[in-house]
Structure 1
Amino acid sequence: MDLNTSTLMLIFFIGLFLISFWKIYAFLPNEQLPDDDNTPQAKEEITKVILKVIQKNRPDISLNELFEKVKRDEDFDEKHFWRFNPNKLHHLLEYYYAKNPDTQSIEEVHKKLNS
């Protein structure tokens, strides 16, 4: 069996390609991390805490005050939501506004929850 140079190169290329593919696959996350806060369940859990804090406070609360009060709430799991920041709060509120078109601000959410 006579193998020319191009055949050997093709065999080595395919072999190294398969090894490279396996190495990339080995580093991709295969299971959900215990502190993953981007799942629908985690978003729902943190949204409940946010809504509870909005309901308990005055309607003209600022985003930064809301953030601090959410972080201090007894239902806030600091180990699970360790990545929680004002930007994440803003995105969660925007997501809530999109799901509830009759609310577009914290004041409207407060009015809706207390009515």
Structure 2
Amino acid sequence: MEVLTYVLQGILALMFLMAGFGKVTGSKMHVEAFTHWRLPQWFRVVTGLVELAGAVLLIVGYWVPASAMAGALLLAVTGIGGILTHVRVKDSFKDTAMILFLAILSFVVLYLYLA
């Protein structure tokens, strides 16, 4: 079970490193997405920093399990915020699926550490 936890943790960390980096650097896709969601661009940067912090906590979590739990919880809550954002603007399930998957994966990693 420990190997599964580490693999899921790694996938989650990589996904949020990529997403967070794209938001912080202002990739066209993320700028347009935050405009579509009617959210200010400063919130894109804050969201990106939170995602990067969660990913770093997951990486540190390979050595310090409490860090992995904190990172997974942070990213799970961020994922819930992302899902609510998609619901608020009535995005399709296809547009919402990735953040839904990442939120569930975050909760699974948290559960595996707590179990």
- TM (normalized to structure 2)? 0.29
Which structure has the greater CA radius of gyration? 1
